[in-house]
A and B are shown apart, each in its own frame.
Chain A
Amino acid sequence: MKRRKQIYHKNFSLIIAFLILISISLVFALALGYNLTQKYIENEFASQKIDVLEQTVKPYNDLFQNKIPEISFYQGFLDSASAIKYLNTIFTKFPFVERAFFYDASISNHKITNGFKVNNFTINPKAVYQFGRNILPDSVVLFKDNNPNSLSMRTTDEFNKMAVKFTEFIESSDTSKTLSNDDIFNVFYSITPNRITYMNIPRQEELKIFKNLMFRNQPPSLFYEQDMLTFYLNPLRLQIKNTHPELYQHILIKPLVYESLDNEPEIISNDIPLPGAFSDYKLYFSSNKAFLVKEVNSRFLPIASGLLIVYGMLVLIAYVIFRNLNVNSKMFKLQHDFIDNLTHEFKTPVSVIKIAGNNISSASHLSNHERTHYGKILDEEADKLNYLMNRLLSFTQIENKAIKLKEERVELSVFCENIINTYKLKYPNFHLHYHLEKVEYYKTDPILLASIFQNLMDNAYKYSLPEKKELNITIQKVKKNIVFCFIDKGIGIPQKEIENIFEKFYRIQNQYNQQGSVGLGLALCKELVNFMNGSITVKSREGKGSEFIIELPYEN
């Protein structure tokens, strides 16, 4: 008894310790998780701006890498009509391109009035056009070489820059080598804030010709066409692609020198400069702290719920372990009781036999009456022991499925008569009745069936008040089954005990079973019925009586 208590106590403290430990872990993990999420969001706020930048300047890169080099495909053959067609595709696709200047230039060794000249090499604009949104038709043509004095510094600014670069290149380059990517970028592109100028890349052959024009005195040459386009860009018309609206509340394009002047501590901000022709501007990112907290919370939620699920599972496991331990300790108790009962059960007959034996041996002589008396006692007690042992044995056998059914035809009326007569002899105050309905015989093992009858009849007798020892047995066929009902008017079974009465070693604690009961009867019945592929159920009302119903398959 002491040992059992110890075990029980120990388990409980372990589980408590376990629960405390995991609860502390949970709290710690939640705190850590929240902190990390916060850090993570802060990092994201700083790092994802590159992604936004990439997406935002994608059209610019497309313009720069694909559409602008396309000018070279025209090989200098662009004129105002084809240039406007080309530019219209640009204006529709890239809203940030506001205007474009188109210099229809020619290269030769002729004398020129407007243009750029190194040795004999001249490059001059034949015409300058201005295209763009909202440009009045009369301001499209800025210059034509049939009106030589109309060229202003403002319009030729980019042209001059490019012409200088190009002549410098012609002067110094090795024209037998193919152009490297560096040459192309340095000579044919000019990128200044909000402006990109591009000149078409001439073929290798032409570069050679240009070099000859520069350094040789040749007769007047052909005019070699070159196209130059200047694109005026407005960075404020770049479409901002906020790919992380959860991080950035506001993204704005601001001048590079811009700093927010409101010292509101609730605002977190960051910036990144725009590339290429937009390098005077930057993307300015800002978010309210509360906004970010919301994001932290929403990211933290799945983490927290994950942790809680794990925690819940651990608690569940702890509970299951606890329950198992409980059941085990109950089992332990039941077994202990059983042994107690059994010992008791064996002790009585043994002590009676012992007393009888002592009496016989200590008596100087035995009268005839005494001899028969002792004989009868010894006989009865031996029977009792035998009965106990048989029962134990058969139970173990059934449990281990070690017995075999010996089926034979049982005439039910004969069977019932016999068993009732035996009980009437045994308990004269026990009123037994039986009733058959639509059934005469049953094919089964009579010994097992008798065992079930005996158990249930014993119980009915045992758990009935002396004046109400009464049992009605009805046997009937219902569909393919045979149903045995044992209805008594005993003390009944409390509702909460009904589940347990078929358990092994279970006994209801009351005054009727102080002795001679080991809690095996109903368990044995259930085992037997199961063994015969049937079922046993019970209905009971406390103080009124119980009804045990056994259903067994009826075989023809």
Chain B
Amino acid sequence: MQIFRKYFWLCGLIILASCFKNKQVRIIPIEDFFKNPEKTAFAISPDGKYISYLRSYKNRLNIFVQTLEGGNITRLQTDTTRDISYYFWASNSQILYVSSKNGGIEGPKLYAAKRDGTHTRELAYFKKTWLRLITEKRAINDEILVALNKRDSTVFDAYRLNIQTNQLTLIGINPGNVTEWFADPEGKLRMASASDGVNETLLYRSKESDLFRPIITNNFKTTVIPLGFCKNYTCIYALSNQNRDKTALVKLDCVTGKEHHVIYNNQKVDIIEGMYSNAKHQLVYATYETWKQQRYYLDNDIKGMYTRLEKMLPNTEISITDQDSAEQKFIIKTYTDRNPGTFYLYTITNNKLIKLGDINPSINKEEMAEMKAVKYKTRDGLEVNGYLTLPIGKADKNLPIIVMPHGGHGGPSSRNSWMYNAEVQFLANRGYGVFQMNYRGSTGYGKVFWAAGFKEWGGKIQNDIADGVHWLINEGIADPKRIAIYGSGFGGYSALHGLCFNSDLYKCGASYSGLINLFTYLKGVPAYHKAFQAMSFEMVGNPETDADYFRLASPIFHTDRIKAPVLIAQGAGDPSVNVNETNQFVKELKKRNIPVTYILKEDEGHFFKKEENKWEFYKQLEFFLKSNLNKK
């Protein structure tokens, strides 16, 4: 009787405790995480009188315009098939936007519309051409600069486009090697960067009538990114890692190509952004990213403004996303690891802040998990930085872990950052710890660190990931029996690679548009990216001479090594993957009685764009992880 009573109380306590826990962590519906933003991409008209934004209309992002006070809301266009990917105010009355046609098969097209939604027209329309913007803000005399592969499908020439008359003037003929064009604030095409595949050259001309002259040539591993011109257009501000490991903010002479001086640099990481003010013709701050983005101010007015803003918006990250021509009214975006983003209108004259909207109001930041910066040493002594997001309301011990290696630009060239990440928060909400790491080959930590990932896709990069997992197990945070690996693009490749070669580490793995064959990946560099092929050979390897390595590093050749359940999500239109191959891969796994969840979407590309497809994928992913990680 005594014992019974004791157990009765114990049971009661456990039930109470579990009730308490359940109350603490609400399961947030998938739709809330992965819905289109309610309102996003706020912008202000050059005269500072109107505010525009993208808002969901019939589940697709459309452009809306309103007055500063929020009156007179107009929907600029109607598009119920695709989201608007980019738009900007060309003038006080004209908005230009980019949207893809025919379900994204044809490539992006440029449209113009008046502020009140009338006079919508397509600009520079040619069949089977791709269009890139050279001007990304403000038309000058109703003219903008665009690049089109109209003359030759493999090269992009520069054109001046009149947005009223739709008149196209060729202003820069691409000899075949120019990969990017740059214009000055007056709309003159003054710079270009060219590449022969391995070496990049920066070209300059002082007048549009002159010929382009090369000023700097460097290997593709070195980058010089022009940010803006000095007052007399004889020098430029640029992000450069020429002759140094970490990208610095520098001033370059346009004629000699020599560096005047370094404006700012950081010992540990690259400078990732230099904010150029068109009004002041100078740089106002530099941004560098350690475990989160930080600013170094170069202008006291801006420093003062940010200080005031930080006082009004404590404990958030602040960035200016748009401003009027007079630089008096600013669109401010704030975010944290637990807040997807909130837009404000800030007026400098009266120091007033008006909230414009949340990107995703369904996300309550109290329910989100904290993203902590972590670091570990790999087997060869390299320090790798990463992030760990642990679920709320659980002890930091013996947790089920999702290892999430990042993808980026088809390969590893990207990094994880401290910010709100819907996937991470979704997984943390479902009770998993999420582990992300910036393995070698990631960008942001300097040239050497980046280049260390060359031809190591199936080698040291994968070791870095596995070492991170071992570190997490040794820390006691991960339950070694409940670790899954999931990623998209290169991350998906890493997941499949991990299942092949570190099969004892992972209980299951999921690949979202992951590469399965490096041969195919290299074949997939499109013809107009011909210039990148030689570079790809250096970064990934040469499929003919390094065939053995390619074979060893490609999961498709190693289906027989996979033992754990696999989830594969794939859009049939993904250029980096051959769907026939993915089918063959899945077929072979099925033949070996490996449980495979295969989500193939005929109407999607590299990533699923349609909400309903995203939801279906994440629902499947949730079920897949639950059924494989919850049984001990």
Chain A residues within 8 Å of B, Cβ to Cβ: 66, 69-70, 72-79, 81-82, 85, 176, 178-179, 184, 201, 203-206, 209, 219, 222
The residue from A72, A178, A222 contacting B579, defined by CB atoms under 8 A apart: A178
* Interfacial chain B residues near A70, Cβ < 8 Å: 557
* Interfacial chain A residues near B556, Cβ < 8 Å: 73
* Interfacial chain A residues near B522, Cβ < 8 Å: 75, 77
- Report whether over half of chain B's contact residues are helix, strand or loop; otherwise say mixed: helix
Cβ-based interface call for B581 (8 A) = yes
Cβ-based interface call for B421 (8 A) = no
With A203-B520, A205-B526 known to touch, is A77 a contact of B543 (CB < 8 Å)? yes
**Are the CB atoms of A178 and B572 closer together than 8 Å?**
yes
Cβ-based interface call for B616 (8 A) = no
**Are the CB atoms of A203 and B530 closer together than 8 Å?**
no
Minimum CB–CB distance from A529 to chain B (whole Å) comes to 57
Distance of A384 Cα from B415 Cα, bound (Å): 125
Distance of A178 Cα from B580 Cα, bound (Å): 9
Nearest opposing residue in chain B for A179, CB measure: B580
**Are the CB atoms of B548 and A85 closer together than 8 Å?**
yes
Distance of A204 Cα from B548 Cα, bound (Å): 25
* Interfacial chain B residues near A81, Cβ < 8 Å: 547
**Are the CB atoms of B527 and A82 closer together than 8 Å?**
no
Nearest opposing residue in chain B for A206, CB measure: B523
Minimum CB–CB distance from B208 to chain A (whole Å) comes to 28
Distance of A85 Cα from B544 Cα, bound (Å): 13
Minimum CB–CB distance from B280 to chain A (whole Å) comes to 46
Nearest opposing residue in chain A for B587, CB measure: A65
Known: A73-B581, A81-B547, A178-B602. 19 other contacts (CB 8 A): A74-B547, A75-B523, A77-B519, A77-B522, A77-B523, A77-B543, A79-B547, A85-B547, A178-B579, A178-B580, A179-B580, A184-B580, A201-B578, A201-B580, A203-B520, A203-B524, A204-B579, A205-B526, A222-B527
Distance of A204 Cα from B519 Cα, bound (Å): 15
With A73-B517, A73-B556, A85-B548 known to touch, is A205 a contact of B524 (CB < 8 Å)? yes
Nearest opposing residue in chain B for A200, CB measure: B519
* Interfacial chain A residues near B543, Cβ < 8 Å: 74-75, 77
Interface string of B575-586 (1 = CB under 8 A from A): 100111100100
Interface string of B511-526 (1 = CB under 8 A from A): 0000001011011101
* Interfacial chain A residues near B575, Cβ < 8 Å: 205
Cβ-based interface call for B588 (8 A) = yes
Minimum CB–CB distance from B587 to chain A (whole Å) comes to 9
Cβ-based interface call for B554 (8 A) = yes
**Are the CB atoms of A72 and B581 closer together than 8 Å?**
yes
**Are the CB atoms of B557 and A72 closer together than 8 Å?**
no
* Interfacial chain B residues near A203, Cβ < 8 Å: 520, 523-524, 578
* Interfacial chain B residues near A222, Cβ < 8 Å: 527, 530
**5 nearest A-B pairs in the assembled complex, by CB-CB distance:** A82-B547, A77-B543, A75-B519, A75-B523, A203-B578
Distance of A82 Cα from B575 Cα, bound (Å): 25
Distance of A168 Cα from B242 Cα, bound (Å): 52
* Interfacial chain B residues near A79, Cβ < 8 Å: 544, 547
A-B contact pairs, 30 of them (CB 8 A): A66-B588, A69-B584, A72-B581, A73-B520, A73-B556, A74-B547, A75-B522, A75-B523, A75-B543, A75-B578, A77-B519, A77-B523, A77-B543, A77-B544, A78-B547, A82-B547, A85-B547, A178-B572, A178-B580, A184-B580, A201-B578, A201-B580, A203-B520, A203-B524, A203-B578, A204-B579, A205-B524, A205-B526, A205-B575, A222-B530
Minimum CB–CB distance from A422 to chain B (whole Å) comes to 74
* Interfacial chain B residues near A176, Cβ < 8 Å: 105
**Are the CB atoms of B519 and A74 closer together than 8 Å?**
yes
Distance of A66 Cα from B590 Cα, bound (Å): 13
Minimum CB–CB distance from A224 to chain B (whole Å) comes to 9
Nearest opposing residue in chain A for B524, CB measure: A203
Minimum CB–CB distance from B111 to chain A (whole Å) comes to 24
Distance of A209 Cα from B560 Cα, bound (Å): 34
Distance of A401 Cα from B523 Cα, bound (Å): 104
Distance of A70 Cα from B584 Cα, bound (Å): 9
Distance of A178 Cα from B570 Cα, bound (Å): 14
* Interfacial chain B residues near A206, Cβ < 8 Å: 523
Chain B CB within 10 Å — which of A85, A205, A219 has the most? A205
**Are the CB atoms of B527 and A75 closer together than 8 Å?**
no
Chain A CB within 10 Å — which of B527, B547, B581 has the most? B547
The residue from A82, A201, A205 contacting B548, defined by CB atoms under 8 A apart: A82
Interface string of B93-132 (1 = CB under 8 A from A): 0000000000001000000000000000000000000000
Minimum CB–CB distance from A378 to chain B (whole Å) comes to 84
* Interfacial chain B residues near A66, Cβ < 8 Å: 588
Minimum CB–CB distance from B570 to chain A (whole Å) comes to 12
* Interfacial chain B residues near A73, Cβ < 8 Å: 517, 519-520, 554, 556-557, 581
Minimum CB–CB distance from B520 to chain A (whole Å) comes to 5
Nearest opposing residue in chain A for B105, CB measure: A176
* Interfacial chain B residues near A85, Cβ < 8 Å: 547-548
Distance of A280 Cα from B557 Cα, bound (Å): 33
Nearest opposing residue in chain B for A212, CB measure: B153
* Interfacial chain B residues near A69, Cβ < 8 Å: 584
With A82-B548, A222-B530 known to touch, is A76 a contact of B523 (CB < 8 Å)? yes
Nearest opposing residue in chain A for B585, CB measure: A73
Distance of A72 Cα from B544 Cα, bound (Å): 14
Distance of A204 Cα from B556 Cα, bound (Å): 19
**Are the CB atoms of B544 and A82 closer together than 8 Å?**
yes
* Interfacial chain B residues near A204, Cβ < 8 Å: 578-579
Nearest opposing residue in chain A for B521, CB measure: A75
Query: Which B564-601 residues have C-beta < 8 A from chain A?
Result: 572, 575, 578-581, 584, 588
Minimum CB–CB distance from B517 to chain A (whole Å) comes to 5
Minimum CB–CB distance from B330 to chain A (whole Å) comes to 44
**Are the CB atoms of B579 and A77 closer together than 8 Å?**
no
Distance of A74 Cα from B551 Cα, bound (Å): 8
**Are the CB atoms of B517 and A77 closer together than 8 Å?**
no
* Interfacial chain A residues near B544, Cβ < 8 Å: 77, 79, 82
* Interfacial chain A residues near B517, Cβ < 8 Å: 73, 75
Chain B CB within 10 Å — which of A74, A201, A205 has the most? A74
**Are the CB atoms of B527 and A209 closer together than 8 Å?**
yes
* Interfacial chain B residues near A179, Cβ < 8 Å: 580
* Interfacial chain B residues near A205, Cβ < 8 Å: 524, 526, 575
Minimum CB–CB distance from A540 to chain B (whole Å) comes to 72
Minimum CB–CB distance from B582 to chain A (whole Å) comes to 11
* Interfacial chain B residues near A209, Cβ < 8 Å: 527
Chain B CB within 10 Å — which of A72, A79, A85 has the most? A72
Distance of A203 Cα from B581 Cα, bound (Å): 10
Distance of A59 Cα from B530 Cα, bound (Å): 42
Chain B CB within 10 Å — which of A203, A205, A219 has the most? A203
Distance of A205 Cα from B523 Cα, bound (Å): 10
**Are the CB atoms of A72 and B580 closer together than 8 Å?**
yes
Distance of A222 Cα from B533 Cα, bound (Å): 12
Chain B CB within 10 Å — which of A70, A73, A85, A184 has the most? A73
Distance of A495 Cα from B572 Cα, bound (Å): 102
Distance of A69 Cα from B152 Cα, bound (Å): 35
* Interfacial chain B residues near A75, Cβ < 8 Å: 517, 519-520, 522-523, 543, 578
Minimum CB–CB distance from A184 to chain B (whole Å) comes to 7
Nearest opposing residue in chain A for B572, CB measure: A178
* Interfacial chain B residues near A77, Cβ < 8 Å: 519, 522-523, 543-544, 547, 550
Nearest opposing residue in chain A for B560, CB measure: A66
Distance of A70 Cα from B559 Cα, bound (Å): 12
Nearest opposing residue in chain A for B602, CB measure: A178
Distance of A176 Cα from B573 Cα, bound (Å): 11
* Interfacial chain A residues near B523, Cβ < 8 Å: 75-77, 203, 206
* Interfacial chain A residues near B572, Cβ < 8 Å: 178
Minimum CB–CB distance from A206 to chain B (whole Å) comes to 7
Minimum CB–CB distance from A523 to chain B (whole Å) comes to 63
Distance of A72 Cα from B523 Cα, bound (Å): 12
Minimum CB–CB distance from B126 to chain A (whole Å) comes to 16
Minimum CB–CB distance from A196 to chain B (whole Å) comes to 17
Chain A CB within 10 Å — which of B572, B580, B584 has the most? B580
